[in-house]
Structure 1
Amino acid sequence: MKKNIILSIIIIMVCSTLYATDYNEIIQKAKSESKSVQNAELSYLNSKLTLEKSELKDELQITVSGNAQVSPDLTVAPTVKIVLPNDGSTTITATVPSSLNYDDTKIYSFSPKVTVDHNFDLSGFDEDVLTALSNSRTALNNEYTYQYALLSFENTCISTIKTIVNLEKNIENQNYLIEKSEKSIKEKLALGQITTSSITYKQLINQLELSKNTLRAYEKQYEIAKSQYKEATNLDWDGLSNLPSPDLTLSLLPTGNTKVIVATIDEEIAKENINSKNASLNPQNVKVSGGVESANSKNILSEKNSLTASAGATYSQGNWSVGASLSSSYDFNKNSFDTPSVTVSGSWSNKTTKRSDEIELQKLQNSLVSASNSASEEYTSYLQSYNALQLEVLQYEFNVTQTKANTEYLKANLENVKALYDAGLATKQELEDAEFNVKLDEYTQTVLVLDGLTLSNKIKMLNL
């Protein structure tokens, strides 16, 4: 709490002295002008759309088909197929094959039929679990990448501003030193301490020229930095105001950050991939079917009206299957049931890809071990980054305390020099030096706050 109070005092002093443009306005303007931020936003939106598409539920499928023949007889066979959006892909098929003679014999055939099929997967593997894990991974990565890009961009802007402020400080200091050196040389010449032909004078002039060259270098760097700032923000540099107080609250997330969570999801995906492979190597399912068909026909010799019902089931496991079906018909013309028909079937085939499947399964198991190791390493990396940031925060808080103490010292020294100057015990140069040191310290305070904002963003980036 004490550190926050000290930092707040520094921020108030900085914002009330040097700068004019709102910090948040600068950052928001820079984000709105940045092509990299725009690309990050577009990538973020496209990823969300892709995820939304992958999460769309299966819908009811209806297929209508048919054929017709008009010669020599009228023959039609319309068919409607409906697939329900469930795990077993329940399929309902209805067809009405019909025919009719054109002559006066009135020969016709009309046989509507409805069948229903459904599959029961007994392998225990649920494809939806793997899909949900993959979608969660995509969503987390998408959000992390976008937010990380925004924070990284803000830190880049802060770095540009910090460069400008440091150059302003260097230019201010260099100008003061040059002015002070020129004044000192004039005074020494006036007092006869040196002459224009003396070695000392030439040394002082040489040092002065070096200082001026350094100043020109700073000024060139300053113009370049302002140009970079203009390109990034579309604003002309005129300083900044309302620097926010850095939030240096650092807390350890029990489950780790997004990168740790994604690594954990990768481990779960690896497990599900093994389950999926096992399910494909040892499929277990039951297919049940049933249907009703009405046969109605008439020819020269006879007329038929019957109803046939059938039901069956097939159990499949691995490379073998067994099934049974039952059908029975009722003849309306005879008012009797036909003898029920029972059919038993089975099949077996040898496994030709056994070794290939074993290799594939071993690769998936190795991937699981690797994913588990990666998850542990990612959490360890998170803890190490957390500990490193703790040290950075402690160092920053120490710097804040030191800066505050130095600021108080410079101000107290200025008041003391003023009193001495008023009493005739200090020179005007000593007073100007004390005043300049206070002014120069304001740049140091600004840089300190900017460093705090950078550190605050690093904390946010760690715990994304």
Structure 2
Amino acid sequence: MDAKRITIFVCCIVLLVLAPLGAADVSTIIEQAKRNSSRIQLIELQKANSDISIAMGEVEETTGITVSGEVSYKDAVLVSNSSNSVEISPSIVITLPNDGNTKITVGASSITKTITSDSYWSANPSIGMSHTFKFGDNGDALTDLKLAQQKLSIDYQYRESLYNFESSIYSKIAEILAYEMDLLDAEKNLLVQQTQISNALKLKTTTEGSTTYRNMQLNLAKLENAKTSILRKMAMAKTQYEQLTGLVYEDIGEIGAADLEFSYLPTGDTNVIIAAMELEIASEELALQQRRTVSTSTGKTTPSLVVDGSASIRHIDDILTQTNYKIQGGIDYYAGSFSTSAAASLEWLPNGTRVPSLTIGGSWSNNPTVASDVMEIQTLQNDITIAGINYQEAMLTYQSDAGQLEADILSHQLDVEAFKEEASYRQQLLEDAIEAFERGLVTQTDVDQARLDVELTTYQNRIYALQALILENRAKALQL
């Protein structure tokens, strides 16, 4: 009867081990968990917000158009005419989306028309254009660096978060499988101990109340406590699994093979690249501040040349029709605390006279904030030193993590190879037990227990497969 109990128990265990064959694949569980998890939803929302922020920073400027004007009514003497009049001053400014901020201005300083019988009217239309040529970086490189670093950091954090989420599920499933193995082993030990006590009483090798019997009962109580402890831990692990995935834990089906190929990156992972970009940003901020220090008076951080020109007509239609033509142009050059300018114009008067003019100017000023600028530059130099140290630390961390990962992969592969030998050994023991049973040398219980040992390797194989997937995610994160 006792042998039958053990046989039935072992058969049940075999069925439990084989049950996961029709269960959900781990890859399916991962996908469902990603859809259900509030943690993943938060990660996705953060990524979406970050992408929008990046996109806003990359929006290209479009042509800007500004239309303005004034309309006024006057009751006053206008030139040679004394009458009520209406004056209009329209203006259109077009700004082109280029590096030089090219501006085209079309307008009229005033268009005046009398509103009585007098025929007086005047107009002064004009068109002008200006363009700025920059001789050096005015901070655009720094902006591009920060934007590139931000994009890289956002993508890295997003993908690393997904890998960590997947690995946490793999780890939790492996933990539950380990508890299931422990539970099966505890139940087997518990049944064996109960059988030993029952047989001892039947064979009268011990009696109730004896020291031997009490010791056997104590061992039985310990085994029951161990089983209870495993059940409680497994229940807690399943609850945590449900909280993590949003799914009720069920038997695990197929576990995909992991790719454990890992290539060491001489330049480091994304964290190292981000640290290197931080060092470059710190250097660029120092260079920009140094240019600002010598450009306090002009407000320009790089030498620049502003070129402008315009053409205008002034027409008056009164007793005598008069028309003036004028063209003019100018340049302004800024370099540090020094600036110079030149302007020229040519005007045609109604009598045919031409009136040229030329104006040259310049300015220079000292730097009144030299003390604070020196401190600011020193701070930025310290930032470069700190960024350099951080870069070295990031590289050392990557080298350490990569070395540890390579060691862990090798250790895992060696453990799997050793377990394969153990699994082969268990299979051989089962075959030997079956052969011995056919000869009547062992009992059915011995065969069933050998078969149980073989079937339990399925659990360990699954745990090793999950551990391999965790290692794969670690390798992916270090190769981002």
- Structure 1 residue 29 and structure 2 residue 32: aligned? yes
- Structure 1 residue 284 and structure 2 residue 287: aligned? no
> Which letter maps to 1:100?
K
- Structure 1 residue 182 and structure 2 residue 185: aligned? no
Deviations 1:386-408 (A, max 9, x none): 11111111110110011100000
- Structure 1 residue 99 and structure 2 residue 112: aligned? yes
SS at match of 2:409: helix
- Structure 1 residue 195 and structure 2 residue 210: aligned? no
List runs of 5+ in structure 1 lacking aligned partners: 1-13
SS at match of 1:125: coil
Range 111-120 or range 181-190, more displaced:
111-120
Range 157-166 or range 359-368, more displaced:
359-368
Aligned counterpart, 1:335: 352
Distance 1:100 1:237 in 2: 88
Q: Is the 8 A contact 2:17 2:455 kept in 1?
A: no
SS at match of 2:260: coil
> Which letter maps to 1:241?
G
TM-score normalised per structure 1? 0.92
Range 401-410 or range 44-53, more displaced:
44-53
Distance 2:248 2:137 in 1: 61
Q: Aligned-pair distance for 1:268?
A: 1.8
Q: 1:192 to 1:16 in 2, by over 3 A?
A: closer
List runs of 5+ in structure 2 lacking aligned partners: 1-15, 76-84, 295-301
Deviations 1:329-370 (A, max 9, x none): 112x313322x1111112222310112112212222222222
- Structure 1 residue 309 and structure 2 residue 288: aligned? no
> Which letter maps to 2:53?
T
Q: Is the 8 A contact 1:125 1:279 kept in 2?
A: no
1:158 to 146, 170, 176: 170
- Trace 1:287-302 onto structure 2 (pairs within 5 A): 287-299=306-318, 302=320
Q: Aligned-pair distance for 1:411?
A: 0.7
> Which letter maps to 1:342?
L
Q: Is the 8 A contact 2:93 2:103 kept in 1?
A: yes
Distance 2:240 2:336 in 1: 66
Distance 1:182 1:15 in 2: 23
Q: 1:406 to 1:18 in 2, by over 3 A?
A: farther
1:169 to 181, 202, 220: 181
Distance 1:227 1:380 in 2: 39
Q: Is the 8 A contact 2:17 2:459 kept in 1?
A: no
Distance 1:17 1:223 in 2: 19
Range 347-356 or range 134-143, more displaced:
347-356
> Which letter maps to 1:22?
D
Aligned counterpart, 1:7: none
> Which letter maps to 1:405?
E
Q: Aligned-pair distance for 1:215?
A: 1.1
- Trace 1:327-366 onto structure 2 (pairs within 5 A): 327-331=345-349, 333-338=350-355, 340-366=356-382
Q: Aligned-pair distance for 1:126?
A: 4.6
Q: Is the 8 A contact 2:293 2:370 kept in 1?
A: no
Q: Is the 8 A contact 1:267 1:375 kept in 2?
A: yes
1:65 to 63, 68, 84: 68
Q: Aligned-pair distance for 1:414?
A: 1.1
Distance 1:411 1:401 in 2: 15
2:123 to 80, 90, 110: 110
Q: Is the 8 A contact 1:288 1:314 kept in 2?
A: yes
What is the alpha-carbon root mean square deviation over aligned residues? 1.9
Q: Is the 8 A contact 1:18 1:442 kept in 2?
A: no
SS at match of 1:310: strand
Aligned counterpart, 1:258: 270
Aligned counterpart, 1:403: 419
1:225 to 229, 237, 242: 237
Q: Aligned-pair distance for 1:299?
A: 4.6
Distance 1:204 1:434 in 2: 25
Q: Aligned-pair distance for 1:16?
A: 6.7
Range 88-97 or range 22-31, more displaced:
88-97
Aligned counterpart, 1:11: none
Deviations 1:169-193 (A, max 9, x none): 1111111111111111111111110
2:406 to 375, 387, 390: 390
Q: Aligned-pair distance for 1:15?
A: 9.6
1:119 to 115, 118, 132: 132
